[in-house]
Chains A and B, each alone.
Chain A
């Protein structure tokens, strides 16, 4: 009385066939198939694709910086200061004669550095705190949520100022400061998800197998919270970039002469009337990258939202 495996699609050859085969033969294939399905859904969002393209471009630009620029981002040449955009200097030069285009490209590295580090710090902390809080409830929940509330109430920029005052300015401290204020919303999101997941029958089933609470949280609840956290973090990236730029603007981020879009915008202020390119280039770069993350995150939400499909 075996119910045979049904297959509804004819098998296709090659890689596509492997990705659409109805009976995956291993965990790698099964996961790759799910990723592929997600990708197909994502593909239907043109703006999301635009955002993704821009992010990919950002990454490529950052990696290939030495290959696509011909100037040294920090070498000064005062004979060339404040030159308008031309064939030799595509985006002109700044007040120290440095090629603006080169500094934008190298600044992409800084931006990515900040964004990745903040995410890597914030997501796991927020997830762990949120899921533990939501699962255990009771006093664990109270304590963790009050701690979260405390951090939530700090305005990012003010905290960064405090950090800079205490530990000195610099990009590492800027990242720490931004991270400290970026994790609470993630924790709250994870907690909210956990509260509803806790009631699910599949969690009850695992409890009935004698699983420990830690095992349940890490192996069963966390994977369900990850998609919405990914979406949230992606959408927050724009804010993180802007905060980092703001810190840079205040002189608390990457220190001169290192190229960083925020500090470039700050120095460009003085020359805004006569040499607008000095501030316009980093300003546009910040806006464009923030937009890219927003578009990508929006489309990602449609794809990953557990309430959506299935």
Chain B
């Protein structure tokens, strides 16, 4: 099992109510696993705890069998990277693309190779001539590609994706989702994808955990979801709401 989550509980402050309560699931190597739910359900919190951005958690997290402590080692950071939601906020506004792609290499003590940067850009479908631009000189889709390139330049095994296409236009979303699928196949990556959009999650993932109010209410394979075979009432509501528009108008 690539990612193991056992009874994860996360609080934002030592005495606050838990934002995430007793969440448990596992992600196999090479799998794409989805966490779906509405705002405030705790899905991003789970992701950030797994990433190591939040230290105040209880429960057990494992990466490829190794237990992950609240303080992470440099080596463990290398194996797991994250793509953030807002392409406008996940790139440093005052650094060139090239410099931002070199940064992971530098921080890991790896040689700062121009060739590695060029390769990373090409892998996400960007022209290497863009590398001396600043983020505000790129479109949303291009920025997100850079963010993906940055995540992949260290050749991680796991990619954590926090709503990677929510802030993008529909047509750009399709390109990015295709890119992500391609990369997963090409590099044998394991994905943990968080989204509020059931359509995106069911497109990308094979297994889905539906979250509500800090807990997983149901774990289901995507084919069963498509057939409507969900048990929990919240899952049914979510599925119905995600499907309804596009069909008939809701009666008043």
Contacts and interface: CB of A to CB of B under 8 A. Distances in A.
Interface in B83-139: 84-86, 89-96, 98-99, 103-104, 107-108, 122, 125-127, 129-130, 132-134, 136-137
A209 B104 contact: yes
A24 B51 contact: no
Contact of A5 (B86, B91, B130): B130
A189 to B, nearest CB: 17
Contact of B150 (A30, A200, A205): A205
A310 B142 contact: no
B103 A209 contact: yes
Interface in A168-220: 200-202, 204-211, 215, 220
B81 interface: yes
B82 interface: yes
Contact of B132 (A29, A209, A215): A29
A25 B132 contact: yes
B133 A205 contact: no
Nearest to B105: A209
A224 B93 contact: yes
A26 interface: yes
B10 interface: no
Interface of A: 1-5, 22-27, 29-30, 34, 200-202, 204-211, 215, 220, 223-224, 306, 310
Interface of B: 51-53, 72, 74, 77-78, 80-82, 84-86, 89-96, 98-99, 103-104, 107-108, 122, 125-127, 129-130, 132-134, 136-137, 141-142, 145, 147, 150, 154, 179
Given A27-B96, A27-B99, A201-B85, 12 more contacts: A1-B179, A3-B142, A26-B132, A201-B90, A204-B84, A205-B84, A205-B147, A207-B53, A208-B80, A211-B103, A220-B92, A310-B136
11 contacts: A3-B141, A5-B127, A26-B132, A27-B132, A201-B85, A209-B77, A211-B107, A223-B94, A224-B94, A306-B93, A310-B93
